[in-house]
Amino acid sequence: MPRGKFVNHKGRNRRFTNPEELEEQRRQEEKQRQWRQTRGDASSSEEEEQEQSKAAGSDKLKKVDESESESDSESESDSDPDGKAKGVENLIQVENPNRVQKKVKKLSQLNEALAKSSKPELSRREREELEKQRAKANYQKLHAEGKTDEARADLARLAIIKQQRAEAAKQREDEKKQKELAQQKKTELTQKALGKRS
């Protein structure tokens, strides 16, 4: 007895086809396939449709439950590759983008591909790092040649500093000369004064 007041009715009235009937269906399908092959795969789609409707009708008679017969006829129509396409199925070609098809390559093609791809592909970060290094080296080269704005500004500052240093050096030399002249005058004066006394 089930617990509680709710009773589950699933699975009570199931009926299964016996193995002999399934084996008989398989034999009939095999005979039909052989007949088609001997005929030459040129059977018209109308004849195939009639054969499918006959097979579906016989399945419905054998099955007790109507829903089971529908699922069986659908599975048979799916499994039969010679069956007629439903609706616009034959007009639209659907291809799974995730399906990987193995392509046979010759050894010479593989060798050429390996020769072309001798360098391993770099990741995005590695590529960006290489680009940064190249840009930095290029900038330093241009900077050394004096072609960048910063280099021009540096050269202008250097020119001003050189000019200021040259002026300061001139000024120092002038002051040094003036001191020497002043020292000479002083010594001359002291010698004159000493010479007069002696």
**Neighbour-count burial of 25, counting CB atoms closer than 10 A to its CB (0-12 exposed, 13-18 middle, 19+ buried):** middle
Say if pTM beats, i.e. exceeds, 0.85: no
N residues, the chain:
198
Residue-by-residue pLDDT tens, the chain, 198 positions: 556 677 776 766 667 788 899 999 999 999 999 998 998 764 444 455 555 555 555 554 444 444 444 444 444 444 445 567 777 777 777 778 888 888 887 888 878 877 776 666 788 899 999 999 999 999 999 988 888 888 889 889 999 999 999 999 999 999 999 999 999 999 988 888 887 654
